[in-house]
Structures are given as C-alpha cells and as structure tokens.
C-alpha cells in the first residue's frame, strides 16, 4: 500500500519567483493496483514520481509505504522512465547486470541471475546485441531487468 499525503513541492528561482509543482496532493494505492497518471507538461508528474521514489524531498507532506514513511529513502519504490536510458556501448546483458556489477557481484553470478530473466522477458538470443539493434519494447524490457 502506498499513500501520498499532502505532498507539496515548491521550486524557488531566487527570492522573486516560486513554482508550485505539487500543492497538497493526496494519493492512495492499494497493493496490486495499477494506476496511470496523466497531465500536461509541468503538471508535476515527474516531481511526484521522484518524491515517491525518494529522489526528491517534498517541501511539505509525507509518503508512506505500508504505513512507514519513506520520504527521502530510495530503494522502496521504482518507476520506469519513458526513455530506456540503456548504455549504447554495452550489450543488453551488460546493461542488465550493471546494477549488480556496481554492487560488486561477481560477473559469473550476475550473468547466472540475469539469463533466466532474459529468457522470461522474451530477450533470449539478444543478450549480446546492443540497444540500437532492438525494438523500443525490447529496450524497455531490458531496462526493466
């Protein structure tokens, strides 16, 4: 369960101007619920996601995961960006294991974890390809992994 309570985010551009990206937003999501957030440019969608993911602090308000505040704490919630952000010079496999590599997981162990997922997500046989050689959907699945 995820609750956003009275989330407000004010960006200041000096002392003269402020931009309210969010103003007292409340949101409740139950476990397993699928929600789409739609809004115009500048409406605060990315700001909301960044606050929920712990990447940005709200000016006011709270974010609760299963009743516990997660404000400013990354690793509890993640989200997919529109752009896959895969590293173009790395193979799909090397992009997928990047997070484990950064955490110091040995390559053989990281590859052993990644390969079953590569097959499960319909990327079998493409692990040695580079992002430019895959469709947009395939790149998104690789980015998710």
For 73-94, how does the pLDDT look when each residue is reduced to its tens digit (9 = 90+)?
888 887 777 788 899 999 999 9
Mean pLDDT for the chain?
Answer: 91
Question: Mean pLDDT across the stretch 48-56?
Answer: 91
Residue 139: which pLDDT band, with cuts at 50, 70 and 90?
very high
B/e letters for 79-96, b = 16+ CB within 10 Å, e = fewer, are eeeeebebeeeebbbbbb
pLDDT reading at 42 higher than 90: no
Question: Can you say how many angstroms the Cα of residue 88 is from the centroid of all Cα atoms in its chain?
Answer: 19
Cα(17)–Cα(30) distance, integer angstroms: 37
Contact 7, 72 (CB under 8 A): no
pTM for this entry: 0.66
Q: How many CA atoms lie within 13 A of 32 on its CB side?
A: 0
Question: Mean pLDDT across the stretch 32-55?
Answer: 88
> Which range among 12-26, 34-48, 61-75, 96-110 shows the weakest confidence by mean pLDDT?
12-26
> Which range among 14-28, 93-107, 130-144 shows the weakest confidence by mean pLDDT?
14-28
Contact 21, 9 (CB under 8 A): yes
pLDDT reading at 15 higher than 70: no
Cα distances (Å, whole numbers) of residue 120 to 16, 25, 115, 123, 142: 53, 37, 9, 8, 11
Contact 7, 58 (CB under 8 A): yes
pLDDT reading at 30 higher than 70: yes
Cα(10)–Cα(56) distance, integer angstroms: 11
Residue 16: which pLDDT band, with cuts at 50, 70 and 90?
low
């Amino acid at each position: 369960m995820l609750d956003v309570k009275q989330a407000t985010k004010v960006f200041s551009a000096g002392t003269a101007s402020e931009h309210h990206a969010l103003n007292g937003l409340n949101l409740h999501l139950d476990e397993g619920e699928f929600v789409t957030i739609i809004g115009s440019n500048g409406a605060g969608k990315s700001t909301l996601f960044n606050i929920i993911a712990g990447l940005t602090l709200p000016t006011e308000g709270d974010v609760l995961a299963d009743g516990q505040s997660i404000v400013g704490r990354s690793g509890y919630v993640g989200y997919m960006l529109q752009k896959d952000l895969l590293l173009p010079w790395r193979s799909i496999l090397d992009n997928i294991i990047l997070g484990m590599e950064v955490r110091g997981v040995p390559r053989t162990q990281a590859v052993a974890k990644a390969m079953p997922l590569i097959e499960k997500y319909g990327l079998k046989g493409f692990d040695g390809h580079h992002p430019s050689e895959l469709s947009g959907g395939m790149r998104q699945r690789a980015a998710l992994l």
